[in-house]
Chains A and B, each alone.
Chain A
């Protein structure tokens, strides 16, 4: 059974088509949901894609978080449903309080658009269960406000609870706290990532690494199946 994956489109989203294509390529039954809709149409997974919702006015994600669809996204998240925010989607999840911390202007000020290396730190999330712990991925970044910040206590909690999901390796492009590239909430069903897995999910796009995120999503809810996945050494034949 394919997962039903709702890709939310805000005014100013520009990675929605790539995200839909990446979810379809992983075998998901993916479809768009407009930000004014209040019905996620029985989504198993919700993805908030990258872009510049509302022109990044005021702060990135600050206005999109009040879009009508976000009530439904919050309800889906609090019921344990998987939610992935990519880049601007990550910013929206932080602004909405579904993830802690916030994203600020890159330490070097420049908008950065290039591949970076990240390490998968935990595999018990719906978006990394197909990966092996410590696996390194090359994913593109494309952001001006990508510096993840959290107060010292929040950062310590993220580390103690193993909620840093991806971390930049070698070079931290934006000056984020603890080299954080992506995090999860306490329940591990809401995940944000700054790099763009949907932009590198095929050898034709420079590499297949991003597909791991969408394959994980399609493979199952990590919270239920992580043990079984680990037991077969990262191979998921037949799932």
Chain B
């Protein structure tokens, strides 16, 4: 087993209204950044975990996302794995 660091990005589904993103966008416009066409706000989760391989780490992390970390009805997620372990 080797240590891995999995970073998960969870974003509100693109088709759904993201009022937080909208508020940030308006604030940026008010601060003199009119070039911002859209802002969206999501979550960034960092998981430190042990796995045999990078693929195993990704598979487990994906299961965690499907089960708990993201709501498949309202959110999409992407994950990136970093770590010592080699690929299988």
Contact = CB atoms under 8 A, between A and B. Distances in A.
Contacts of B20: 105, 109
A149 B12 CA distance: 12
Interface stretch (B32-40, B55-63, B68-76): B68-76
Contact of B16 (A59, A62, A104, A108): A104
A208 interface: no
Contacts of B17: 104, 107, 147, 175
Interface residues of A, number: 21
B73 A106 contact: no
B71 A62 contact: yes
Given A104-B12, A149-B16, A109 B73 contact: no
A104 B68 contact: no
A58 B73 contact: no
B2 interface: no
Contact of A66 (B12, B23, B68, B69): B68
B71 A102 contact: yes
Contacts of B73: 94, 100-102, 149-151
Contacts of B71: 59, 62, 95, 102
B19 A58 contact: no
Nearest to A100: B73
Contacts of A94: 73
A108 B23 CA distance: 9
Contacts of B74: 102, 104, 149
Nearest to B72: A102
A59 B67 CA distance: 13
Nearest to A174: B19
- Residue of A58, A63, A107 most packed against chain B (CB within 10 A): A58
Contacts of A95: 71
A151 B14 CA distance: 12
A102 B16 CA distance: 11
Interface of A: 58-59, 62-63, 66, 94-95, 100-102, 104-109, 147, 149-151, 175
26 contacts: A58-B68, A62-B71, A63-B68, A66-B68, A94-B73, A100-B73, A101-B73, A102-B71, A102-B73, A102-B74, A104-B16, A104-B17, A105-B19, A105-B20, A106-B19, A107-B19, A109-B19, A109-B20, A109-B23, A147-B17, A149-B16, A149-B73, A150-B73, A151-B73, A175-B17, A175-B19
Given A63-B68, A104-B74, A149-B16, 18 more contacts: A58-B69, A59-B71, A62-B68, A62-B71, A95-B71, A102-B71, A104-B12, A104-B16, A104-B17, A107-B17, A107-B19, A108-B19, A109-B19, A109-B20, A109-B23, A149-B74, A150-B73, A151-B73
